[in-house]
Amino acid sequence: MELSEGRPTNVPVGEVTSRACAWSNFDDGFNYTVQLLPMDAADAVGSDDSSLTQINGFGAVQGTGLGSSTPICQLIIDAGPGQAIRVQAQSTLLDDEGQPLTFDQVCPRVSNFATAVVESALARS
């Protein structure tokens, strides 16, 4: 994916802090984030328009946000009891008419990225 060097960070999630890492791809105008969540995937969803899906056989919830400015699509993958992985892709690009990309253009990016994240985690286990 030719991403920039990742930026590790700690992000508050309710009463606890979780680890995350963010990358940018300046060539394609997308930002990507992976965050480890100390909760079930269903409890981590913050989007009203969420839908259920699967990533490499793991249950996941897809949600979207910020559609009118910098659309972001996320998958929250159920990694085990009380554990989830949040994977996000956000577009900072505008289309040829000066409008933000649509979720139909952004969400396939997060699906591909989430697949790579899960494959990498499985290879290390």
* For residue 92, pLDDT beyond 90: no
Q: Write down the mean pLDDT value for the chain.
A: 87
Q: Which neighbouring-strand residues pair with 78?
A: 84
pLDDT higher than threshold 70 for residue 113: yes
pLDDT of residue 1 exceeding 60, the answer is no
The answer on pLDDT for 36 being more than 60 is: yes
Q: Is residue 121's pLDDT more than 70?
A: yes
Mean pLDDT of 81-88: 93
pLDDT at 2: 56
Q: What are phi and psi of 42, to 5 degrees?
A: -60, -30
Least reliable range by pLDDT among 28-32, 44-48, 84-88: 44-48
Pairing type for strands 72-80 and 30-37 reads unpaired
**Strand pairing of 51-55 and 83-91?**
unpaired
pTM: 0.85
